[in-house]
Chains A and B, each alone.
Chain A
């Protein structure tokens, strides 16, 4: 096969852009949280400083090979699922492999990192970390169901499982799925609350009770790689939602606007809410979001 320089540039640029945007979003979220709490708050590039600092830690410890590989699993899942999502609509450089995979693949690819991290976390032998993993997996069973309901509704509505077809189906402003199938949108956004892991669904990483849960034994380069992967993964998820419900984006300006708009929902829900217990959050996801998802499917079916 011949070298396609545009695609190669895309392969190099996409993770960098995703990382920068994701990190900046994280900083902005910290700033917004501070403002809501009547504080001045850190600068938007605070998370970037944090990650550079973590990368420049001189020492690191691990409890064995699985913990050593855990962050590698995480970043593999993030970057791979990023490459299979069309970042920009019909642009060769920024919709890289999206024709070679589909939504079912993305569903499972997104779990890949969580599973790898859980294995790495398991080897630390830290009880807090294990409790965090148990809570995280249980909560995942909660929010995956409404998310899948929304996705199935969309896939059946548009008779495709590929994101590009879904994108091309919502070329007009009025064709966006948020208008075409609002119940799917609601179910998806409620599931996004659980995916993003802000309050009230932050029982997994609860710093006060679990000593930050799963990553409690990770420091230095491991934590740095985890946070990098987290930033990229946040951007990937937001782009996926923008593609699914808001008709994607033609250029990065629109993309940033849409993803930021989507991101603000879990953030603003998070800053004003206390924390759910695990079973409460699971039952929450099995009540209203699932009901909306079933409504979405019924709306498609009849």
Chain B
């Protein structure tokens, strides 16, 4: 059973089984799902590396599924996040309707991800990509009636990406005669320049849609904020990483001698950096926690793209480290938001306030989560940031690092706002009887929080598999010890000392604060504050929240006024007018979007046909 067939079979079988069990014995449904993903995770852990475990031929296409260190990294990420999200769903989704639909699509999307990471040829990659896209689309429109518009946006961009991949596939097949990775990796450089360039660009567009790089990111905030929060963790933590997976393969396996490759890399790096910066700035001014976290995910993916595109061993290591870690801490933050939503029924950061004494565990996990995102030592986020900056400095990317650093400094703003708005501030009267969430929701959060802590203490544990994956990508890894990291100039960061120092000083200061006149240290409520002698009434809450970053907004001026979303809407409306006289073929808005897609496809075909002379 230790095989890729086992993994895919278990996952898709469990998907159908849950759908049936939902109608027969709903109690077993969650158990089956959790056990299935647990088993697949175990198999993915045990799976031998660099083994082509499935190989058959359909028509003239070879379908190859195989495992590599690179695949295993992503597979285990998918398994762990899926497992935690399913455990979390047990109570979070309790009492919702159409749970069979929910669990089935959840498992199908997980299976699609498994298929993507294990597929060793573009055909099966495209196939599983479509499966993943469709099932996640089903979950995006699961929540509510008005989700169709949001889902439509997600669908349109996924379709664009899928068609881009498809055309690239056709191009490569037409010139190589095979699309298995082995053939493609070796024979890619033998193709004509135009095919190389167009296929690489098309594949980057296709994977970049899922990775939400800047001009293609507009679906992400809406989709993340619509899908049920238990799945949003997987959505942002694992599903968006499939794009990163593809980009990694495209950038480092589709090697070629011609010099345009470095230009592609530089452009991609700058796109990623600008994605990180702009998405962060958008995130600062969100008032809905889901939108905030969605933009935060986009910006973190921007860091990952930067790391991949710069292409030094250290930067790739940083990118993969951040892939894993972003899965962890973004899952924590989405889970915490879900916990707040579960108890208070709102994710609006202007409504919910002062929950720290009610939900201590959620607060603790969210605290570690934001510290990890912000990259403050000693958590794992610092390691990824350190690797990224060191790689950028060594590589003399002077201004790239400034953009990236500005993004990560501005990240403090939205992170503080996130944790301040939900857990800190004055306690609200309507939330006095809020309780901590049940352990099935607490557990995943706390475990992942401890995971971020451990990765900070012993980054070597995580760097071992990552360096294998980096080696698969054809680059020599970074030098490290269990908790000491080196850059290529020989400078090191020794996390042992950092942890020791922080622990010693913090604990001693904490002990001092706690025992110093302990008898006469008193807890007072948040109503008992200095307000010039006035006493706030029961019903008035003095927390400062609305327009929390108004000064920063004024400082930015009109920088954030033009939105990519508006541009797309304008293009769409223009197309609608352009195809107005074709209304007997296409009517209505949604079809216009579809028309948009088809025209995109046609243009690309003509483009490749006319210029590169490739027969399609």
Contacts and interface: CB of A to CB of B under 8 A. Distances in A.
A131 B544 contact: yes
B501 A283 contact: no
B543 A125 contact: yes
Interface stretch (B229-237, B241-249, B492-500): B492-500
A126 B529 contact: yes
Contact of A79 (B356, B390, B505): B505
A122 B530 contact: no
Given A112-B377, A123-B424, A127-B542, A64 B357 contact: yes
B424 A66 contact: yes
B88 interface: no
A296 to B, nearest CB: 10
A188 to B, nearest CB: 15
Nearest to A57: B517
Interface string A84-112: 10000000000001011110110011011
Interface in A288-302: 294, 297, 300-301
A3 interface: no
Contacts of B552: 134, 138, 141, 278-279, 282
A300 B398 CA distance: 10
Chain A interface SS verdict (over half): helix
Contacts of A133: 416, 420
Given A149-B402, A155-B393, A161-B489, A108 B375 contact: yes
Contacts of A152: 393, 398, 401-402
B426 interface: yes
A60 interface: yes
Contacts of B555: 138, 142, 278-279, 282-283, 286
A3 to B, nearest CB: 15
Contacts of A35: none
Contacts of B59: none
A300 B493 CA distance: 25
A174 interface: no
Contacts of A72: 506, 509-510, 513
Interface string B110-122: 0000000000000
B516 interface: yes
B498 A137 contact: no
A148 B402 contact: yes
Contacts of A79: 501, 505
A129 B528 CA distance: 14
B385 A156 contact: no
B341 to A, nearest CB: 21
Given A112-B376, A119-B367, A279 B402 contact: no
Nearest to B414: A137
Contacts of A101: 493-494, 497-498
A180 interface: no
B501 A80 contact: yes
A270 to B, nearest CB: 20
A277 interface: yes
A217 B377 contact: no
A279 B555 CA distance: 4
B521 A134 contact: no
Residue among B494, B530, B548 having the largest count of chain A Cβ atoms under 10 Å: B530
Contacts of A69: 510, 513
A144 B522 CA distance: 37
B424 A122 contact: yes
A140 B393 contact: no
Interface string A47-60: 00000000000111
A63 B389 contact: no
A14 to B, nearest CB: 12
A292 B148 CA distance: 50
A279 B409 contact: no
Contacts of B420: 118-119, 122, 130, 133
A119 B424 contact: yes
Interface residues of A, number: 80
Contact of A64 (B385, B521, B523, B543): B523
Nearest to A281: B555
A225 B524 CA distance: 20
A129 B494 CA distance: 36
Nearest to B526: A125
Given A60-B520, A134-B549, A68 B513 contact: yes
B145 interface: no
A221 B396 CA distance: 47
Nearest to B281: A141
A55 to B, nearest CB: 8
B539 interface: no
A83 to B, nearest CB: 6
A135 interface: yes
Contacts of A160: 489, 491
B124 interface: no
A95 B555 CA distance: 40
B406 A145 contact: yes
A137 B356 CA distance: 22
Interface in B508-540: 509-510, 512-514, 516-517, 520-530
A71 interface: yes
Contact of A138 (B425, B522, B549): B549
A137 B506 CA distance: 23
B551 interface: yes
A301 B398 contact: yes
Contacts of B487: 161
B502 interface: yes
A148 B526 contact: no
Nearest to A120: B424
A73 B509 CA distance: 9
A104 B376 CA distance: 11
B544 A134 contact: yes
A115 interface: yes
B342 interface: no
B517 A111 contact: no
Given A148-B402, A216-B530, A138 B551 contact: yes
A30 B124 CA distance: 72
A193 interface: no
Given A63-B524, A100-B493, A122-B425, A141 B513 contact: no
Contact of A217 (B489, B525, B529, B544): B529
B419 interface: yes
16 contacts: A61-B528, A63-B524, A66-B424, A79-B505, A97-B497, A105-B493, A118-B416, A124-B529, A130-B545, A134-B544, A138-B549, A138-B555, A152-B401, A155-B393, A161-B390, A225-B513
> Which 7 pairs of residues, A with B, have the shortest CB-CB distance?
A125-B526, A122-B424, A278-B551, A125-B426, A100-B494, A282-B555, A279-B555
Interface of A: 58-66, 68-69, 71-73, 75-76, 79-80, 83-84, 97, 99-102, 104-105, 108-109, 111-112, 115, 118-119, 122-128, 130-131, 133-135, 137-138, 140-142, 144-145, 148-149, 152-153, 155-156, 159-162, 165, 211, 216-217, 221-222, 225, 277-279, 282-283, 286, 294, 297, 300-301
